[in-house]
Amino acid sequence: MEIDEETKIELYTTMVRIRTFENRARILIRDGEIPARSGFYTGQEAVAAGVCAHLSPSDQIGSTHRALGHLIAKGCDLKGLMAELCGMSSGLNKGKAGPYHIFDPSVGALGANGIVGGSVPMVAGYALTHQLRDDGGVAVSFYGEGASNQGGIQETLNLAACWNLPLVFVCENSSPEVQRMLGHEIDYPQLSIERVSDRAQAYGIPGATYDGWDVLEVYNAVGDAVKWAREGNGPTLLEFNVHQIEGNLEGRIEVRDDERIWCPIHRFKERITDEGILTTELDEKIRDKEKSKVEEAAEFALRSTVPAPIEAFKGVFAGGP
Amino acid sequence: MAERLITYSEALNEAHRLEMASNPDVVVFGENVSSGWRQVTKGLKEEFGRERVRDAPITETAFIGMGVGAAIMGLKPVVELMLVDFGLVAMDQILNQMAKSHYMSGGAVKVPMTLRATYGAGTSSAATHSESLYSLFAHMPGLKVVIPSNPYDAKGLLIESIRGDDPVLFMEHRLLYPMEGVVPEEAYTVPFGMANLVREGSDVTVVATGLMVGKAVEAADELGPKCSVEVIDPRTIVPLDEEAILRSLRKTGRLVIVDEDYERCGFSAEVAAIAAEKGFQHLDAPVVRVATPNVPIPYSPVLEKHLLPSKEKIVKAISQLVGY
Ligand SMILES: Cc1ncc(C[n+]2csc(CCOP(=O)(O)OP(=O)(O)O)c2C)c(N)n1
C-alpha cells in the first residue's frame, strides 16, 4: 500500500507524543505526584499509532494495563489523561480510574483494564453494536501474549468468528524470543506455539504475525483487517512482535544504543529522514510541539484539585446512589 | 536461644519449605512463582525443583481448576493467586468445583487444596487491584477462609491449611508482608476456628481481621485508660469461633466489628447477625460496623482513604459506644 507523506508524519507524531507523555508521567511518579505505578508502553508505540490511524472516534478500542499508548493514539485528551493519573477531579474519570481503568467514550477508548484479558469480551459487544446498526464501524481489541491464553479471549475469538463480528484482535507479543511474564523469566513456557496468530486457524479466521517495531508494517496490516471487518467479512487476529524498552527521567525520546534496533521511533525517523520527508527542522518542530502539549497537560494536572472526599460515594449507580 | 524475628512473608515462605520438605505431595504453582520477586515463593524452585514449583500461564481458571483436580487425586497443591481480585476470573472453579466437590460427591472425593491470595487496599490501585473479597468466598459453603494478621499465625495457619483435608482460601494482606514478629523455626500449626484474644479489655469488644487487627489495637492503645478495649482476631472466618466473640460480649456488652471488606452482606454483617441472634441478651448498645462502604475502591488516594477503615474511625466507633 502506498502511504502518503502526511500519514507518515502523523504516525511519527503520534509515536513521539506517546513517548513524551509517558516519560513525563515517569517523572510525576518519581515525584509522588502520580500516586501509583503504571504499565508503560515504551517500545510499542508503533502498534497503537498504526492501529488507531485507521479508526475514527466512532470506532472503539479495548485496552489493557499498559493502556497509555492506546489511549493517546485513540485521541484521549492529554490534560484529562494526566489529571486522571494524578488522581484529580479534572481527570477523565474523576480520579476514580487511575492508569488501569480509564474510559473515554468521546473518542471510542473503552477502556483500559486492570484484569488481564478483561476487556476483550466487552470489545465483542462494541463490535456487535456496529453489526446490528450496520454503520460500518469496527472495534479493536488490544491484549498481550500473556493475556492471549485467558479463556475469555479464546471464547471471544470463537464468538466473534461464529457471529462474523467487525472486530480486529491485536495481540502485542512483548516476548517473541524468550518467553517472559511481567518482564521476569519463567520456568515453563506460557505459550505452546511460536506464534499467537497461529490460533486464528483454530477459529477459522485470518491471522498473521508482523514486526510491531515497524510502524508501516503495522499500518498496512491493520488497514487490511479493518477494511475486511468494515465490509462485513468478520474478525482477524493480528499479532505484532514488540520489545518493551526502558523509558527515562530526562525526557529523552532517544533510547540506549542497544535498544535502538527495536525502537519504532528511532527506526521510523531514520527511514523518513532518508526518504527526505523528515528534515531536522521538522523533527525539532514536532518534538517541541508535543513536548509543550505534554507540559501543558502536566501543568493542568498539577494545578487541578483533588476530589472532595465525599465524591467517593457518588456514581455507584447511574441513577444516583 | 533468643527469640527469632522474621517477617510475615518470610514466615509464609518457611511454611512452604517445611511442608514441601516433609511431604513430597506438596506442589506449588501460580503466576511467576519461580521468580525471586515473588516474596512468598522465593527460592522454592531452587530448593525443590521445577517439577514441584511451576510457573503457570495467566489462566486462573485453568490453574486453579488444576489445583482442584490434583487435590482430588491426592496431591497437596498450594496455588498462588497474585491478587484475590484476579480470582474473579475463575469463579466457577473456586465457588463450584473447589468449594463443593467434596459435599456433592457425598464425600467420595476430597479437595485438600490451599489457594493463597494477596488482598487489600491502601496502595492507590483502584477497584480491580485493591479488594478484600473474603466475604464473597466465605458465603459459599465448603470453603475455609483464613486471614492471618501476624507472622506467627501466618506460618501456623498455612501449615494447618496444607495438612488439612479441605479446600482453603488463604488471604494475605499485601501491606502485612514486611511486618516482623516472633516465629519459631520448627513446623507448628495454628488450629482453625480458634480466635486469638489479642488484647484483653472489659468495656468494648472489637472483632477485626487481617490488617485491621493492628489498626484496632492502635485504636485501643490510643483510647488508653478512657476505655478498656478487648480485641479479638478470629484468624479464620470459616470456621468462625463464635463462642470467643460471645464470651467477650458477655463481659463487655458492646461490639465493634472492623472489616476491610465491603459492608453489605459481608463478614461484618455476619458477626453482627451472630451477636443479634445469640448474644442479644448481653448487648448494652447497638452493634457498630467499621467496614468499607459499598463503593468500589477508587484510585485517588483522597477518595480511597475516605472509604477505608482507619484507626481514627475505630476510635470514633468505640467512643460512640462507650457513651451509649
Ligand atoms: C486476571 C489477571 N491475572 C494476573 C494479573 C497480573 N498481571 C498484570 S500484567 C500481567 C502480565 C501480562 O502479560 P501480557 O498480557 O503479555 O502483557 P504485557 O504486560 O506483556 O504487556 C500480569 C500477570 C492481572 N492483572 N489480571
Q: Is B89's C-beta closer than 6 angstroms to any atom of ligand 1?
A: yes
What digits encode the pLDDT tens for the residues B141-154? Answer: 999 999 999 999 99
Task: Classify residue B57: in a domain, yes or no.
Answer: yes
- Within this chain, do residues B165 and B17 fall inside the same structural domain, yes or no? yes
What digits encode the pLDDT tens for the residues A233-258? Answer: 999 999 999 999 999 999 999 999 99
**Long-range contacts, B70-75 (Cβ 8 Å, 24+):** B70/B27, B70/B113, B71/B110, B71/B111, B71/B112, B71/B113, B71/B167, B72/B101, B72/B109, B72/B110, B72/B111, B74/B25, B75/B25, B75/B26, B75/B27
What digits encode the pLDDT tens for the residues A89-137? Answer: 999 999 999 999 999 999 999 999 999 999 999 999 999 999 999 999 9
Mean pLDDT of B38-42: 96
Number of domains in chain B: 2
Task: Classify residue B189: in a domain, yes or no.
Answer: no
Task: Classify residue B65: in a domain, yes or no.
Answer: yes
CATH of the domain at B139: 3.40.50.970
- Within this chain, do residues B92 and B176 fall inside the same structural domain, yes or no? yes
What digits encode the pLDDT tens for the residues B294-324? Answer: 999 999 999 999 999 999 999 999 999 987 7
Q: Indicate if the pLDDT at residue A199 is higher than 70.
A: yes
Burial of A12-44, coded b for 16+ CB within 10 Å and e otherwise, reads bebbbbbbbbbbbbbbbbeeebbbbebbbbbbb
Task: Classify residue B284: in a domain, yes or no.
Answer: yes
Give the CATH class of A5-304.
alpha beta
pLDDT reported for residue A2: 85
- As a whole-number percent, the residues of chain B with pLDDT over 90 amount to 97
- Within this chain, do residues B219 and B264 fall inside the same structural domain, yes or no? yes
Torsions phi, psi for A255 (to 5 deg): -115, 175
C-beta neighbour count of B226 within 10 angstroms: 12
Q: Read off the pLDDT band of A71 (50, 70, 90).
A: very high
Nearest CA in chain A to B59: A150
- Within this chain, do residues B29 and B170 fall inside the same structural domain, yes or no? yes
Q: Name which of A184-188, B92-96, B256-260, B277-281 the model is least confident about.
A: A184-188
Domain boundary assignment for chain A: 5-304
Alpha carbons A39 and A271: distance in angstroms, whole number: 29
- Within this chain, do residues B202 and B138 fall inside the same structural domain, yes or no? no
Locate cell 493463597: which residue? B116
8-state DSSP, B81: E
Pairing between strand B204-208 and B229-233?
parallel
Determine whether B282 is an active site residue: no
Q: What is the DSSP string of A232-257?
A: T---EEEEEE-------SS--S---G
List CB contacts (< 8 A) between A185 and chain B.
35
Neighbouring-strand partners of residue B22: none
Mean pLDDT of B90-96: 98
Q: Indicate if the pLDDT at residue A10 is higher than 70.
A: yes
Last residue of a domain, one of B148, B182, B216: B182
CB of B296 within 8 Å of a chain A CB? The answer is yes
CATH of the domain at B283: 3.40.50.920
Alpha carbons B137 and B158: distance in angstroms, whole number: 18
Domain hosting B43: range is: 5-182
Q: What is the ipTM of this complex?
A: 0.96
pLDDT reported for residue B1: 61
Contact A219, A11 (CB under 8 A): yes
Task: Specify the residue with its C-alpha closest to ligand 1, atom 10.
Answer: A182
Alpha carbons A255 and B236: distance in angstroms, whole number: 51
Cross-chain CB nearest to B59 (options A118, A150, A312): A150
Catalytic residue among B129, B139, B282, B306: B129
- Within this chain, do residues B147 and B207 fall inside the same structural domain, yes or no? no
- Which residue would you say has higher pLDDT here, B224 or B72? B72
CB of A133 within 8 Å of a chain B CB? The answer is no
Element (H, E) at A208: strand A207-211
Q: Is B81's C-beta closer than 6 angstroms to any atom of ligand 1?
A: no
Q: How far apart are the first and last CA of chain A?
A: 53
- Within this chain, do residues B93 and B241 fall inside the same structural domain, yes or no? no
The whole-chain average pLDDT of chain A stands at 97
CB of A111 within 8 Å of a chain B CB? The answer is no
3-class secondary structure, B233: strand
Q: Read off the pLDDT band of A16 (50, 70, 90).
A: very high
- Within this chain, do residues B10 and B156 fall inside the same structural domain, yes or no? yes
- Within this chain, do residues B55 and B94 fall inside the same structural domain, yes or no? yes
C-alpha distances out from residue A86 to A76, A111, A250, Å: 16, 18, 20
- Within this chain, do residues B112 and B168 fall inside the same structural domain, yes or no? yes
Distance from CA of A44 to the nearest CA of B (A): 21
- Within this chain, do residues B43 and B176 fall inside the same structural domain, yes or no? yes
**Nine-digit cell at B87?**
480470582
**Nine-digit cell at B24?**
513430597
Q: What is the CA angle A138-A142-A143, rounded to 5?
A: 150
The whole-chain average pLDDT of chain B stands at 97
Of A116, A148, A174, A243, best ligand 1 pocket probe by most atoms within 8 Å of the beta carbon: A116
3-class secondary structure, A143: strand
Contact B194, B219 (CB under 8 A): no
Measured in Å, residue B80 CA sits from the centre of ligand 1 at 15
Residue of A233, A293, A222 whose CA lies nearest to A61: A222
Q: Read off the pLDDT band of A53 (50, 70, 90).
A: very high
- Within this chain, do residues B95 and B201 fall inside the same structural domain, yes or no? no
pTM for the whole thing? 0.97
Task: Specify the residue with its C-alpha closest to ligand 1, atom 19.
Answer: A182
What digits encode the pLDDT tens for the residues B214-254? Answer: 999 999 999 988 899 999 999 999 999 999 999 999 999 99
Task: Classify residue B261: in a domain, yes or no.
Answer: yes
What digits encode the pLDDT tens for the residues A271-288? Answer: 999 999 999 999 999 999
Q: Is A144's C-beta closer than 6 angstroms to any atom of ligand 1?
A: yes
Task: Classify residue B187: in a domain, yes or no.
Answer: no
Cross-chain CB nearest to B298 (options A96, A146, A186): A96
